[in-house]
Amino acid sequence: MTFSQQLITWYRNNKRDLPCRRTKDPYFIWLSEIIMQQTRIEQGTPYYERFVDAYPTVKHLASADEQEVLKLWQGLGYYSRARNLHGTAQEIMTGYGGIFPDTHADILRLKGVGDYTAAAIASICFDQPHAVMDGNVMRFLSRLYGIAESIDRPETKKTIRAIAEKNIDHRNPGDFNQAMMEFGATVCTPANPGCLNCLFQRQCIAFKNNTVGRIPARNSKTAVRHRFLHYLVITVTERGTEFICLNKRTGSDIWKNMYDFPCLERTLDKTLLRLPAQEFDELLNSATPEFGEVSNPFIHILTHQKLHARFYRIHYDKKIDLPCLLVPVKDIHNYPVPKLIDRYLSKIFF
DNA sequence: AAGCCGGGGCG
DNA sequence: CGCCCAGGCTT
């Protein structure tokens, strides 16, 4: 039995039953692969099912509003994936006549689709022998071949890709790719891998050398940046309806096209001191406000940032000129917000 | 080549 | 706490 035959046999006997494995429709495979990028299967699967329900065809997705797509994506993170997903659905409608491209080269041109996703779609949907290179595959193969160089180096990734391409089953490239990933995800895991019962223990260089714990190696991580956010939570009552002031984030910062509140950012405030009210004058075009409740600090961790946020409430009895979007509080659930804001809202308002 | 972009789960 | 996850885009 060749390596790929052993692996595929193992896969057919041990694979998890996932919703996204019940189809070969390129639209659904694309959707699932974008959702699963840098995301654990268990975390992404509920989102996949909600997207399939909401947008059963690429045409449905293309016709949606971006805000609606972001709302459905809310909580999953890396929101550029959702923006690109939506934009690419429209591109498929207008540029490809609604038909998903069927060659690796054309799939790779789609925005939001890189080497990994193009290979996954091409192999699973169209039986094209392109090997996927994701975290699971790189871990499994770097251990199996005892590759100790950092997998962050493109050179190392090329070496591993060559191994995968050499071993890919040309009859079942989709199963081979999924088997590689499934094996990495369930047996050759980052911590406490199942080496003792591993099918490939005899061939595994890292196991032989007792270096499984050090492979794969990665570059040192970049430093975490601390940010201190002072959020103004303005509410206004007008004819018995309560409104809240939202801010749509634009530009190249985190959470693009998501909503939060008007904000003052400080970088030197190591302790997130309470700001005096007049510091907010620049946001308000009006007289210094009187705060209602001022929250304790909220800590929110991103990959390269640690956010320290404080929320300052202000209430007005009538509408004034405000530099933000005034939304009825009861409609907040229509607006995509980052997890930090969602945490605050559910603690204070809901 | 390196930085940036979220959020969650695990040891 | 640190690490990693069915990665890709920007600089």
A256: which nucleotide lies closest, measuring CA to C1'?
Answer: B5
- Residue at shortest CA–C1' distance from C7: A37
- Residue A287 makes CB contacts below 8 A (sequence gap 6+) with A281
Q: Within 86-145 of chain A, which residues have Cβ less than 7 Å from strand B?
A: none
Cβ of A38 < 7 Å from strand B? yes
> Confidence band (pLDDT; 50, 70, 90) for A270?
low
Lowest mean pLDDT across A91-105, A131-145, A215-229: A215-229
**How far in angstroms lies nucleotide C4's C1' from the CA of residue A38?**
9
**How far in angstroms lies nucleotide C3's C1' from the CA of residue A211?**
17
* Residue A109 predicted with pLDDT over 80: yes
Say how many C-beta atoms besides its own lie within 10 A of residue A167's C-beta: 15
> Confidence band (pLDDT; 50, 70, 90) for A273?
confident
Residues A292 and A314: beta-carbon distance below 8 Å: yes
d(CA A214, CA A284): 54
d(CA A28, CA A121): 10
**Fold entry, domain A225-348:** Nucleoside Triphosphate Pyrophosphohydrolase (3.90.79)
pLDDT confidence of residue A67: 98
- Higher pLDDT pick, A205 / A223: A205
pLDDT confidence of residue A111: 98
- Residue at shortest CA–C1' distance from C4: A190
Nearest by Cα to A144 from A197, A208, A190, A194: A208
Cβ of A158 < 7 Å from strand B? no
Cβ of A346 < 7 Å from strand B? no
pLDDT confidence of residue A59: 98
**How far in angstroms lies nucleotide B11's C1' from the CA of residue A75?**
24
d(CA A237, CA A232): 16
User: Which chain C nucleotides are covered by protein, judged by CB under 7 A?
Assistant: 3-11
Cβ of A75 < 7 Å from strand B? yes
d(CA A232, CA A246): 10
pLDDT confidence of residue A183: 98
- Residue at shortest CA–C1' distance from B3: A222
pLDDT digits (tens, 9 = 90+) for A68-102: 999 999 999 999 999 999 999 999 999 999 999 99
Give start-end residues of each CATH 3.90.79.10 domain in chain A. Answer: 225-348
Cβ of A2 < 7 Å from strand B? no
Residue type at A330?
K
Strands A298-301 and A305-316: antiparallel
A37: which nucleotide lies closest, measuring CA to C1'?
Answer: C7
> Confidence band (pLDDT; 50, 70, 90) for A283?
confident
Q: What percent of chain A has pLDDT over 70?
A: 99
pLDDT digits (tens, 9 = 90+) for A10-57: 999 999 999 999 999 999 999 999 999 999 999 999 999 999 999 999
Cβ of A88 < 7 Å from strand C? no
Give the containing element (helix H, strand E) for A232.
strand A225-238
Tell which CATH architecture fits domain A3-214: Orthogonal Bundle (1.10)
CA angle A198, A41, A81 (to 5 degrees): 135
Give the containing element (helix H, strand E) for A21.
none
**How far in angstroms lies nucleotide C5's C1' from the CA of residue A36?**
9
A77: which nucleotide lies closest, measuring CA to C1'?
Answer: B6
Say how many C-beta atoms besides its own lie within 10 A of residue A97's C-beta: 7
* Residue A271 predicted with pLDDT over 70: no
Catalytic residue set of A: 33
Give start-end residues of each CATH 1.10.340.30 domain in chain A. Answer: 3-214
